Structure 1
């Protein structure tokens, strides 16, 4: 059972992406994934600054996040779109996790990881302009990002107000099934002599 770390790139209480990641986590568990859902609000980090890093070292929350990334086989990320790109919270988190620490390359937390990327917006694009930026950053860090992705336009009307479920979940379910299958297959291949 692959271990999957899931989080939203938004910490706003009523964020569409926080709703989306919860739905995606449920679907991933149903598909056979062992999912750890975290809230980035529980891991506050200063804006990355090389002088601060040199003076104080890696913040405790960056160390905690590094450990979580290393303990998991895959990432499941839902993010809003800010000015056609990633929100600063998500970029800053990825940047801090990628820092070298105690002689270990900053790429170690990303090595051999698979990722599924999601986006939700109330507009018509559904985060489609942000997803290539997130894909590029993760690819640069060495993450295998699934070719498929999930974009949810008109998120303000996409969730059932009674139970919070997606009204049309088929595309999301297909993506998380692919995440679980791909991560499992790569783990088995890595175990072969």
Structure 2
């Protein structure tokens, strides 16, 4: 009798960067995460979702229970994802305006964030974006998001050795390993919640 083999299902992850800069370190973290899933985290596929086309939230744009096409397309991407990966910069001790806008659009009825597992990546100055992460976790309580608790990923982008290149790509190997552990944890948590 052959031994049964367990095959992990593919976890589909929607990845959002709260920074719109062309050479954003946060978007660079998501690119690194996508590369890591191809190299060393089998069973996980990450899709980068560009939030820059979303209009500022305005309920006047909701007509007969429908949303503008760009908002509908964004909401469907979130709904279809098994889990969410946020790259959240810290602006004034909180999340950025573009990320909050995306959070608000996808929370409109029906709330497509509900019951999604999630993880947060942040980089920046001395706190590495940690205060924004805690604020995002508070928002997630109302949105019914379920964040992994460990490992946390905060990264001081300006402390040697160099963490990012001129294009915003993550080049620090220790940070890549830490990022990989976040992805493995998100994958395991997602599978656990799906069961």
For normalisation by structure 1, the TM-score amounts to: 0.83
2:137 corresponding residue in structure 1: 135
* TM-aligned CA deviation for residue 112 of structure 1: 2.6
The one of 172, 180, 185 equivalent to 1:178 is: 185
Counterpart of 1:23 in structure 2 is: 32
Query: Please, which runs of 5 or more residues in structure 1 have no aligned partner?
Result: none
- Give SS of 1:70's match: helix
Q: Which residue of 2 aligns with 1:124?
A: 126
Q: Does structure 2 retain, via aligned residues, the 8 Å contact 1:139–1:145?
A: no
What SS does the corresponding residue of 1:47 show, helix, strand or coil?
Answer: coil
3-state SS, counterpart of residue 193 of structure 2: helix
Q: Structure 2 stretches of 5 or more lacking a match?
A: 1-9
Which residue number corresponds to residue 10 of structure 1? 19
Other structure's SS at 2:20 match:
coil
Counterpart of 2:7 in structure 1 is none
Structure 2 length normalisation: TM-score? 0.82
- Asked if 2 retains the 8 angstrom alpha-carbon contact of 1:10 and 1:80, the reply is yes
Alpha-carbon separation, structure 2, partners of 1:153 and 1:164: 12
Q: Given the alignment of the two structures, is residue 36 of structure 1 paired with residue 47 of structure 2, yes or no?
A: yes
Judged with a 3 Å threshold, the aligned counterparts in structure 2 of structure 1 residues 23 and 48 are, in CA distance, closer, same or farther, namely: same
- Is contact 2:83-2:190 (8 Å) kept? yes
User: Which residue matches 2:172?
Assistant: 166
Q: For 1:43-62, list aligned pairs within 5 A.
A: 44-53=53-62, 57-62=66-71
Pair 1:165–1:178, CA change in 2 (3 A):
same
Q: Report how far residue 164 of structure 1 moved.
A: 4.0
Quick one: distance in 2 between partners of 1:55 and 1:48?
16
> Equivalents in 1 of 2:14, 2:61: separation in Å?
28
- Distance change (3 Å), C-alpha of 1:171 and 1:96: same
Counterpart of 1:120 in 2: which secondary structure? Answer: strand
Task: Give the direction of change, closer, same or farther, for the CA distance of 1:84–1:45 in structure 2 (3 Å limit).
Answer: same
Greater helix content? 1
In 2, the alpha carbon distance for the partners of 1:150 and 1:62 equals 29
